[in-house]
Amino acid sequence: MDILELIEDFLEHLEIEAGRSKKTIENYRLYLERFYEIASEILNKDSVKASDITRELLRRYRLKLNRYGTSNGEEDLKTITQAYHLIALRGFLKYLARREIKSLDPSLVELPHVVRKQVTFLHYDEVEDMLEQIDLSTESGLRDRAIIELLYSGGLRVSELVGLNRDSINLERREFMVRGKGSKDRPIFISQACADRVRDYLDARTDSLPALFLNNSRNLQTADTTGDYRRMTARSVERIVEKYARLAGITKHVSPHTLRHSFATDLLMNGADLRSVQSMLGHADISTTQIYTHVTDAHLRDIHEKYHSETK
């Protein structure tokens, strides 16, 4: 059987049995179809079978991936992107093994070492500087203030934020649930100040649309009757965050994810333990949360001066 058919079976398995998100399935399709394209070229075959996937094919595929941009007149694939391709291939090979279809042992697919980027975050006073730039005399200003407060106070991903409805959030209890990556639910807790800002925004609205945050652009199409035609997009939120960071004179790149980083670092700098922060961020693996441990560096000088014996 041609592996294109098996890839389709695998993607259906991800959707139905594994419950993976549409975005994940789209990415896996891209990575595996690219593997098929490169494997066909390497083997000089119109049809590639599962048994054709060997160590030698894997070696040559990795080499082609590493040189992909150069050979196509595009930018080279980043190491992390190459790793995503290999993760998809390994998942596909595991699926074949479970179906007892002869192919390469998935354990032979080793991932490249990826150096994580330094996490960018804002200190509390920088977040305050951003908030001070917002004109609260307009509905859009009240909305923007509520968005930034919610990103910083709750540690939300931007995709989680734009998916919220009015009835998603309990402003009295100041907690609610979101469904994050991998369709996993987690609790979100927000400060009283954040709850007040969200309430101010909702009180200023005169519509009955379900989305928590609305786009106020006059260029929006109104043919959509689902009530979602004015729901804010992730890109719109990114522009809002970038705008107020720029007005506050913050020179580093600031995105909604920067505010999520800031949420995590603020917790750790104030004594929260790593496991609790992991739960609040919704990380499946604590190694993902450990990228924030750099913030403890600020306390190392104090510890050194307090506990290290000084020579005479």
- pTM recorded for the entire structure: 0.66
The predicted-structure confidence for 52-111, as pLDDT tens digits, reads as follows 999 999 999 999 998 877 666 567 788 888 999 999 999 999 999 999 999 999 999 998
Measured CA to CA, the distance from residue 194 to residue 304 in angstroms comes to: 37
181 catalytic per annotation: yes
Tell me which of 157, 174, 231, 261 is the catalytic residue.
Answer: 157
- The CATH number of 124-301, from 3.40.50.11270, 1.20.1440.120, 1.10.443.10, 3.90.650.10, is 1.10.443.10
257 catalytic per annotation: yes
CA-based nearest residue to 263, from 167, 212, 188, 168? 188
Measured CA to CA, the distance from residue 296 to residue 264 in angstroms comes to: 12
pLDDT in 10s for each residue of the chain, 312 residues: 789 999 999 999 998 888 787 888 999 999 999 999 999 999 999 899 999 999 999 999 999 998 877 666 567 788 888 999 999 999 999 999 999 999 999 999 998 876 666 678 888 899 999 999 999 999 999 999 999 999 999 999 999 999 999 999 999 999 999 887 767 888 999 999 999 999 999 999 999 899 999 998 766 655 555 567 789 999 999 999 999 999 999 998 999 999 998 998 888 878 788 888 888 888 877 777 777 766 556 566 666 677 776 666
Measured CA to CA, the distance from residue 20 to residue 29 in angstroms comes to: 13
283 catalytic per annotation: yes
292 catalytic per annotation: yes
Tell me which of 29, 60, 181, 230 is the catalytic residue.
Answer: 181
157 catalytic per annotation: yes
Q: Do domains 3-108 and 124-301 have the same CATH topology?
A: no
What CATH number is given for 3-108 in this structure? 1.10.150.130
Domain ranges of the chain: 3-108, 124-301
Tell me which of 143, 145, 260, 261 is the catalytic residue.
Answer: 260
Tokens 């005169």 map to which residue?
206
Measured CA to CA, the distance from residue 165 to residue 300 in angstroms comes to: 43
